[in-house]
Amino acid sequence: MDIEGKKVAYLTLGCKLNFSETSTIKHSLEKAGAQTVSEKEEADIFVINTCSVTDMAEKKGRQLIRKIVHHHPDAYIVVVGCYAQLRAKEIQAIEGVDLVLGAGDKFDVAHYLQHLTEQQHSEPHSCDVFKLSRFDLAYSFGDRTRCFLKIQDGCDYFCSYCTIPFARGRSRSASISQILEAVHDAACKGIKEIILTGVNTGDFGHGTAYNFLDLLKRLDDSEEIERFRISSIEPNLLTDDIIAFVASSRHFMPHFHIPLQSGSNEVLKLMRRRYNRELFAEKISRIRQLLPDAFIGVDTIAGMRGETENYFEDARQFIESLDISQLHVFPYSERQGTRALDIPLTVPQAEKHRRVNQLLQISGHKLNNFYRRFQGQSRPVLFEDHKIGSYMHGFTDNYIKVRIPYDPGKVNMITSVLLTENTFCLEE
């Protein structure tokens, strides 16, 4: 297929890592002469980047694929991402899907499209992810304000509930020089803030002579980007040195996102996590000592196999005691091939839903209190170019979402804002 001049639309499900990878795929097709169009237009090619973190994520992927096939029967449909790696043949069996590329091939969409006459169209391209050593740097440019930069991929942890290692392979990283080059490119495009992201971000540099803290120090020396943030980092990899570094940094924002998953030590063992809740509490305490204004987001899973009512209540009380800012709550989802399926006790859906809601109530209370702490203070806000109604939005250094009446002169600018009841944006 000659893709010169072809119209290509992109759809992405899942995490920010997926969005950064879609952006990189898009750039490769644009270099080959393709024209990017909206998903609502009559595109010649649709690239669908899928997620497989939960059963619901896979279901959404199937629904989206069928929807695109139905509304665009003449388009060429390419499916990539974690779902494509784990369930390649299942996706290829969906009528209307033309090309399925797994973890080892998803960045070669342009190559496969240009050599279609040489390919067996019905054969999906999956790979043995545990032999995958290739690392493809990726970064997203959704707007000219913030950029998600992929610095690491894969995971060696094999938690009992998770399929990500099977979808993405072993832990591997970009080099520091590659990342510095990407940072320079982002700065040239007008980006003011970069979020470092990966599957297991804190494992950056694993197997090399450098580590995550080495990278942070090199980035902090850069004068090209005004703000950096660290995306999700495992509590056992969030060292006291990293916390102290962020506290003294010029460019890293007081913002942490730390997966807890359960506040019960018994459930953490069932999950095969690499820490206990005492270590987690120590990390929160250390952050609050050095960065009292920091935003701390925490991931939790409710209804894990083996989570008895007593275990959940113990976890709930522990989570409520933590001085954190917000919870991201996920119901446990059974994943084919994971060790969690060997745990006999299952939590009924209704009970799982009740536990999720209890944790969401705690989250809402904590987020509200965190925002109110800063009412009446002025903090620096980086405003984005998204106009919603008559308002524009942005985030403070410590990740408070702010809205003010739209002012084009403030787009992509860091402006001091007096935080009031009217400026808070709490709908997240």
The full DSSP string for 310-343 is HHHHHHHHHHHHS--SEEEEEE----TT-GGGG-
CATH numeric code, 7-127 = 3.40.50.2300
DSSP code of 170?
S
Give the list of residues 6+ apart from residue 115 with CB closer than 8 angstroms, or none.
none
Per-residue model confidence (pLDDT) at position 133: 76
CATH topology for 132-253?
Transcription Regulator spoIIAA (3.30.750)
The full DSSP string for 96-123 is T--EEB-TTTGGGHHHHHHTGGGS-TTS
Per-residue model confidence (pLDDT) at position 416: 97
Question: Rounded distance, CA 199 to CA 164, Å?
Answer: 8
What are the residue ranges spanned by the domains of the chain? Answer: 7-127, 132-253, 378-418
CA-based nearest residue to 273, from 322, 237, 324:
237
Cβ atoms of 88 and 132 closer than 8 Å: no
Count the Cβ atoms, other than its own, within 10 Å of residue 335: 21
Strand pairing category for 391-396 and 414-418: unpaired
Beta bridge partners of residue 36, listed in sequence order = 8
Question: Rounded distance, CA 164 to CA 86, Å?
Answer: 9
Question: Rounded distance, CA 37 to CA 33, Å?
Answer: 13
Per-residue model confidence (pLDDT) at position 116: 65
Beta bridge partners of residue 9, listed in sequence order = 46
Cβ atoms of 168 and 156 closer than 8 Å: no
CA-based nearest residue to 84, from 14, 37, 141:
14
> pTM score, two decimals?
0.92
Mind listing the pLDDT tens digit of every residue in the chain (428 residues)? Answer: 788 899 999 999 998 899 999 999 999 999 999 999 998 889 999 999 999 988 899 999 999 999 999 999 999 999 999 999 999 999 999 999 999 998 888 999 999 888 765 444 546 666 666 777 788 888 887 667 889 999 999 999 999 999 999 999 999 999 999 999 999 999 999 999 999 999 999 999 998 999 999 999 999 998 999 999 999 999 999 999 999 999 999 999 999 999 999 999 999 999 999 999 999 999 999 999 999 999 999 999 999 999 999 999 999 999 999 999 999 999 999 998 999 999 999 999 999 999 999 999 999 999 999 999 999 999 999 999 888 899 999 999 999 999 999 999 999 999 999 999 999 987 64
Per-residue model confidence (pLDDT) at position 125: 66
Question: Rounded distance, CA 80 to CA 89, Å?
Answer: 12
